[in-house]
Amino acid sequence: VIINLLINAHDAVGENGIITVKTWHRKNRTYLAVEDNGSGISAEIIHNIFNPFFTTKTRGTGLGLAVSKRIDKEHGGDLIVESTSGEGSAFTLGL
């Protein structure tokens, strides 16, 4: 899951992009966030990004985020996204 989030962040940022990984623990849950200052995700498509085979990339199958969300859920967690088009995204994995 973490590798997939890092690959997606890398694909979203340009040559001078910034990817930040943060971790924290609160109330018996551990969180990991992968944040980037890339292109962000538009409001028109953000509700589809965890659907199998949905992709905006020219390569890949569109399964990465769907599988990541399922794996996280199977471990009692949740994968959420916050994004602003043109400013970047943050994917937070909570376990």
pTM above threshold 0.85:
yes
Contact (Cβ atoms closer than 8 angstroms) between residue 43 and residue 32 = no
Q: What is the pLDDT of residues 6-17, one digit of tens each?
A: 999 999 998 889
Per-residue pLDDT at 61:
87
Which residues, other chains included, contact 86 with Cβ-Cβ below 8 Å and sequence gap of 6+?
Answer: 39, 40
Q: What is the reported pLDDT for 63?
A: 92
Span 23-75, pLDDT tens digits:
999 999 999 999 999 999 999 999 999 999 998 887 888 899 999 999 999 99
Tokens of 80: 């959420």
- pLDDT of 10 reads 94
- For 40, the token pair is 């962000």
Say what the pLDDT of residue 60 is: 81
68, containing H or E segment: helix 64-74
pLDDT score of 59: 84
Place of tokens 């538009």: 42
